Amino acid sequence: MGNRPCCDERVKAPAPEVVAASTPVELCDGSISPQDSSEYPQMGRLGTSSSLNMQRQPAPGRMSRLMKLKHLEIDEDIMRGANLRRTLWHCGRAWRRPPSELSENERAELWKYSTPVDEFDTFFSHTWLTPGKWKVFSLMLQKGWQVMLVSWAIAVAVMMLLCLEDVLPMPWTYQARYHDFEEVCPFGPWIQFVGIVALILGMVISPYVPTYQEMVFFDMFSIHQTDARLMERGVYGLGGCLRRSRQLQVLWSSPYLSRLWCVFELAAYRQANPNGRILWTPLFRERALLAIFVICCWMTALFWAFAALQAGPESSMIGYAVSLLPVILGTHALRRTFREGQKLLDDLQYFDLAFAGCALEFDRRFIYTAIQDWYESEEAFTQYVRGPLREELLTSASFRDIPLRHYMILLPVGMSLSLEFLVALLKGGAPAPVLARYVIGLMLGFDVAWSVFCLDLFHYMCFRFRPLQFTCLKCRKLLDCGQSILIVLLSVFCWTFGGEVSHLAVHSGIWPTLCWTTFATCCALVSLKGVPVVAAFSGMCVGWIPCISAKPKDAEEVVSI
């Protein structure tokens, strides 16, 4: 990130401008009305009276900014940032509804989330045409995956201890058959169940754990929602806030580039910060993670159902085959989700400023004037979006790769099941060599390395064979269903192959176990694009220390380094 736009040679970066006390106050001619607020989709309905007891410093109005080309002028009095962690309390309740759906009292309460700041760590750019729940879900996973992992580890350790001390009952048995150990071992579901609950609970409580400190600009917190004058200063002073932002994080969804104000934020940030970082956060990736997580939980739930029913191998195979129908449906939905990734690239490649929506003619004039001033022409800006900005996105983010944090959320589901068997072996009195082979071959070789390879393969096939557009609706549906079935069958084959080989290696001895684990690790590294990813992941984990506030690092660490 941070590449200069194609027209930087022709447009010099503006010098910092701060509103002076001598600047005359200019009130908006016909203040922004509730009907007008829909043009800037992040804004809600407006009131007409001042609800603040604060001293306003003289500041230019929207006409003054337009006529004097002061789009990037900084209005110090309205620089207000919100603590990101605090806004995500109560599962991000404050994010979930747009201001236009809130009462006047509720909109007035939003102002309390923000405090005066000199600069922003992150400026969030988004559109309210996309539900706020997906933005909350995406941010909570990005910022809270370490807390989720720690909460899972603590819960699993406690459950293992309780099981080993016979505090919890073990309702079933497991027949261990190794060449140097055969025993009927007690077996229970506690680690698996509590581990999944701990993952979910970790995401919920993550905003309350002081693992990061990030002051952000988010429109409905940083711009007053009931005072008409303050809101006008906030809306038309966005350029100054962008200038004082360390990075621009785009919460991307399908309608994003269709909104002219969103386009303005992209243009203004690159002009105000030629070397600044634009961070693309496609919301569809977290929806894809949710779909895969549900599929993993579904398969483990089936295992426990068959264990409770004491089904034999033949019955279990039939049950698993029948249960693939929900998996196929989930895969089908996942492939549709990945279509948004291609749409983002297409939106940038075929971007046309004329198609960006704008309800108010004044706002269109305001934004077009700024773009013409910064990029010399509308066509030059269009070419910048289609060229350097798109290349910047392709360099910084890979939609085909799974972000590292997603692995850290998915892998514990399978590892919890293996820990159940490990506890069973411990309670059954398995010797140390058997336990060592089990940990190396099954937990490291299969649950970690081979699972990473299988997840990456499944993810790649879903993205590569996302639904295509055909004129014939019947042909499209048949092809889509066939592709989803084929993807599931190939994924099941790959997973089953790894499981059988790992069990064979573990039962054969330490050297076959080491060979299998080495092979699985190599496959995982190939899918992860090599050793640099390991270094990146190590830095992410070592650099994170709970209860110590630090300036935010990259929110989007992806596998493609």
Domain limits of the chain? Answer: 62-133+210-283+349-396, 145-205+286-344+402-537
pLDDT score at 331: 86
Given phi > 0 = left and psi -120 to 50 = alpha, else beta, which region is 174? beta
pLDDT tens string 124-174? 999 988 999 999 999 999 999 999 999 999 999 999 999 999 999 999 888
Report the distance separating Cα 328 and Cα 64, nearest Å.
58
Looking at residue 65, what is its pLDDT? 64
372-394 core/surface letters (b: 16 or more CB in 10 A; e: else): eebbeeeebbbbbbbebbbebbe
Structure tokens at 432: 């140390």
- Helix locations, 428-509, DSSP H: 432-437, 451-464, 473-508
Residue 235: alpha-carbon gap to chain centroid: 27
Please write the tens of the pLDDT for every residue from 450-478: 999 999 998 888 877 766 665 566 777 78
Distance, CA of 307 to CA of 300 (rounded, Å): 11
Position 26 scores a pLDDT of 40
pLDDT tens column, 403-440: 888 999 999 999 999 999 999 999 999 999 999 999 99
Under 8 Å between Cβ of 410 and 459? no
Cα–Cα dist 299/275, whole Å: 47
CA distance 21 to 43: 28
Q: Environment class of residue 129 by beta-carbon count within 10 Å: exposed (0-12), middle (13-18) or buried (19+)?
A: middle
pLDDT tens-place string over residues 13-22: 444 444 443 3
Q: What is the pLDDT of residue 117?
A: 93
